[in-house]
Amino acid sequence: MDRPTKMTVTGADRVATDTIRLTLDATWDARPGQFAMVWVPGEGEKPMSVVASDPMAVCVRSVGPFSRSLCSRTVGDMIGVRGPYGTGFTLMKDANALLVAGGMGAAPLAFLANELALGNEVTTLLGARTADQLIMPEAFTNTGGLHIFTDDGSSGESGIVTSSLDRFIWDTDRVYACGPERMMVAVLDAALAADVPCELCVERYMKCGVGLCGSCHVGEICACTEGPVLSGERLNGTGFGRTARDCAGRRVPV
Ligand SMILES: Cc1cc2nc3c(=O)[nH]c(=O)nc-3n(C[C@H](O)[C@H](O)[C@H](O)COP(=O)(O)OP(=O)(O)OC[C@H]3O[C@@H](n4cnc5c(N)ncnc54)[C@H](O)[C@@H]3O)c2cc1C
Ligand code: FES
């Protein structure tokens, strides 16, 4: 397994009420959907989607001990980073793309929107609980249509991001989604029903990030090496959306 490379924080910008974008002094040859294993001394190591590769950046939401600590990093601090790991999204040309982002799922999709903007029509459905939890809406505005959904109606339409999928899915060549697993199951079902290819960036408990520990499996699929971006066809019938493994390796309902 690679050892973490030391990287220095060159930017720490708040992008939502509880979310920080950390820019690092490195350039990565990474594709949207790939992830980094980020190590904070004394706190451990967790997977984070790559948000930009030049310079390298990640976006962190403060939800627990590790992410709280990472969110408190400021310019000049050092962290350890391994990667890039996993598979990326398939890029297209002269096509219509539909991006469906729920919560922190917006992080890899912001990177993807930027790459797809060159030569494609990109429509984004961006969802969050509240207006102040929307992640980087500006990253999706220069690429075509942006439709915002919040659970409480404080910005955009009121309701969950998948509630209007039927309105958008028919005109698209491929759907890309990242967010809570139940949200992605709704996207998968809609894409299968409309016979539109889809790619989902799955979030499973990842310890090693390189195929050694088995904690990230979705059925027979190793999400850290064969994913995290997986096609709808691949995920269909695997138990995706039903059970996952927790930090102790126990199978728990999603
Ligand atoms: C491929 C991938 C990409 C990710 N990208 C981002 C990102 O861009 N930004 C971001 O803020 N978070 C991302 N995460 C989630 C992140 O790795 C952590 O889970 C999150 O920061 C919470 O960790 P914590 O210790 O602070 O909180 P905890 O209180 O320990 O956990 C909070 C939640 O995170 C889950 N979690 C904890 N550790 C892991 C882990 N090692 N792998 C997966 N899930 C875990 C727990 O099951 C729990 O549901 C990603 C996860 C994966 C698998
Ligand atoms: S995280 Fe260890 S095998 Fe995938």
If DSSP codes are grouped into helix, strand and coil, which group holds residue 58? Answer: strand
Question: CATH no. for residue 219?
Answer: 3.40.50.80
Task: Write down which residue in 61, 85, 109 finishes a domain.
Answer: 85
Task: Provide mean pLDDT across the span 46-74.
Answer: 96
Q: Are 81 and 4 in contact (CB under 8 A)?
A: yes
Q: How high is the pLDDT of residue 118?
A: 86
Residues near 164 by Cβ (< 8 Å), separated by ≥ 6? 125, 147, 149, 157
Q: Which of 208, 221, 247 to mutate to test the pocket of ligand 2 (most atoms within 8 A of CB)?
A: 208
Q: How high is the pLDDT of residue 249?
A: 84
Give residue 247's pLDDT band: very low, low, confident or very high (50, 70, 90): confident
CA–centroid distance, residue 148 to ligand 1 (Å) = 24
Owning domain of residue 21: 5-85
The structure tokens 């459905």 sit at 125
Give residue 242's pLDDT band: very low, low, confident or very high (50, 70, 90): confident
Q: How high is the pLDDT of residue 248?
A: 84
Task: Write down which residue in 53, 85, 117 finishes a domain.
Answer: 85
Mean pLDDT of the chain: 93
Q: How high is the pLDDT of residue 237?
A: 87
Q: How high is the pLDDT of residue 191?
A: 95
Residue 37 pairs in a beta bridge with: 47, 82
169 and 240, same domain (yes or no): yes
Give the count of domains, the chain.
2
Q: Which ligand is nearest to the CA of 202?
A: 1
Quick one: which atom of ligand 1 is closest to the CA of 201? 1
Q: Are 206 and 224 in contact (CB under 8 A)?
A: yes
Does ligand 1 come within 6 angstroms of the Cβ of 161? no
55 and 104, same domain (yes or no): no
Give residue 175's pLDDT band: very low, low, confident or very high (50, 70, 90): very high
